[in-house]
Amino acid sequence: MADPTEETSGAQPKAPCDDQPNHPAQELAVVDLACPRKDKRQNSGGSRTIHKTKLGRPAKLSTSLDCTVSKTLTPNRVVELPPNASTDSQDVIARLPHEWEQKVTSWGEPAYRGRQVFEWIHRHGVLDPAEMSNLPKALRARLVEEGVRWPLAMISSHLSDDRTNKLLVGMPDGERVETVLIPQLQDPTVVTQCISSQVGCAMGCVFCASGVAGLKRQMSAGEIVAQVLLGRHELEPDQRIRNVVFMGMGEPLHNYDALARALVLLTHPDGIDLSKRRVTVSTSGLVRQIDRLGRDFGGQVQLAVSLHAVRDEDRSAIMPINRRHGLDELMACLRRYPLSKRQRITIEYTLIKGVNDSIADANAMVDLLRGVPVKVNLIPMNPISASDLQAPDSSHVMRFQQRLTARGLSVFVRKTRGDDVAAACGQLAFHPGKQTEARSLRRA
Ligand code: SF4
């Protein structure tokens, strides 16, 4: 997984982790859910996998986190859900402060208790009512009855040599998704978290492991946000999550209502309080939903678009969504996406040797993106054992980048992160049954 918030402008693309010794992944069986940090300390020398053998709540918050409820609430900072946003009354983790206020007042409690519940869950990551120490016992018991508990459980974590940490999390119905914690290279205390929005994916991109089984089910807003609550438990004491990117399993815009609510929750000032500019929604190109996102959030949420090919014929072969919304339609949509002056849409472009890496491709990209405020992230393809498709060599990547730059585009080359624990960009895990189709793109 490349950290989309890190840019390596003008740098020579490196082979994955070529500045690290090539440690084989170690596997540790760990039964003790109560102390994952102990295992990290004992095994800091290389990538390793920690299996947690039962579902349950994550370990307690680090003592360095302030778990007291703040006395100063922020009732005046109203965060609105988009119009017509749906409410899932069963999804208790996804309730907003005013919804908790309504709920607790219906139980005969004062309204401010509702905000306290929201703060416990979203600011402090405490989902066990028994630990909500400033609430009356009767209310805590009511919250248990209401279903306030962790909607996710950590099953295993896979820590890379470069400290990228891939978490496998389970849901009560047995489904599993992955989320990845990616410390910045320059400052590892600053972490970007990549989160999932669906179990599986209906988009069927041929180069993506998430599309293998198709869409199994949508994730609820509570499940989406709980990935971040759970991710915070896995940080080292000096780390904090500063960016969240929807680039894990699923097409987030295909689960729009849950996405919209999750965006409001993630950025709520009484909760996790991320800046909207630090939340990125990545899409394969669902045009109507991009328009809706722009309308609902006024362009404040960062948008990333997986392009990967610059001609309809090529893109349709690897991304079926392109057959419904071709490149002209997609570019017109991006041109009208509301952006502030300095904001740009991120274009993700995976460079595959002999497929989409020619200078003619670079020129076509410049023509295609004309008039769209973008920055381009070039991602040299991760090596996949089941495929003979490869990244171009670094000098070729540089030539491609230079051509784009010379013709006026802002271009960055991503350093791949976490590939030794298979946390590298999921878009590149080739679908074994569809390799032939992907290979057919290779030019003579
Ligand atoms: S690349 Fe994204 S949109 Fe395409 S199948 Fe994978 S998860 Fe879905």
Contacts 24+ apart (CB under 8 A), 399-407: 399/359, 400/351, 400/357, 400/359, 400/361, 400/362, 401/10, 403/359, 403/362, 403/363, 404/362, 404/365, 404/366, 404/376, 407/362, 407/363, 407/366
- Which tens digit of pLDDT belongs to each residue from 93-110? 999 999 999 999 999 999
| CATH fold of the domain at 92-146 | DNA polymerase; domain 1 (1.10.150)
Q: β-strand 165-170 against 176-183: which pairing, if any?
A: antiparallel
Distance in Å, CA 300 to ligand 1 centroid: 23
Task: Give the E-state strand segments of 31-68 in sequence order.
Answer: 48-52
Report pLDDT for 68: 30
Who contacts 212 (Cβ-Cβ below 8 Å, separation ≥6)? 200, 431, 432, 433
Q: Where are the domains of the chain?
A: 92-146
DSSP string over 228-243: HHHHHHTS-TT-EEEE
Q: Name the nearest CA neighbour of 319 among 364, 351, 286.
A: 286
Which tokens go with 286? Answer: 């669902």
Of residues 383 and 72, which shows the higher confidence score? 383
- Which tens digit of pLDDT belongs to each residue from 235-252? 999 999 999 999 999 999
Which tokens go with 223? Answer: 């499940």
- Which tens digit of pLDDT belongs to each residue from 251-260? 999 999 999 9
Average pLDDT over residues 206-212: 76
Confidence of residue 70 (pLDDT cuts 50, 70, 90): very low
Confidence of residue 67 (pLDDT cuts 50, 70, 90): very low
pTM over 0.95: no
Which tokens go with 79? Answer: 């965060």
Q: Which residues are catalytic?
A: 178, 425
Phi and psi at 216, nearest 5°, equal -90, -50
| Portion of the chain with pLDDT greater than 90, in percent | 64
Look at ligand 1, atom 1, and give the residue with the nearest C-alpha. Answer: 427
Distance in angstroms (rounded) separating the CA atoms of residues 350 and 249? 17
Distance in Å, CA 34 to ligand 1 centroid: 34
Length of the chain: 444
- Indicate if ligand 1 lies below 6 Å from the C-beta of 211: yes
Phi and psi at 333, nearest 5°, equal -65, -45
Which tokens go with 324? Answer: 């419904």
Q: Name the nearest CA neighbour of 100 among 72, 66, 123.
A: 123
Which tokens go with 407? Answer: 């013709």
- Indicate if ligand 1 lies below 6 Å from the C-beta of 196: no
Half-sphere exposure of 305 (CA within 13 A, CB side): 27
Of residues 432 and 159, which shows the higher confidence score? 159
Distance in Å, CA 45 to ligand 1 centroid: 33
- Indicate if ligand 1 lies below 6 Å from the C-beta of 203: yes
| Three-state DSSP state, 278 | helix
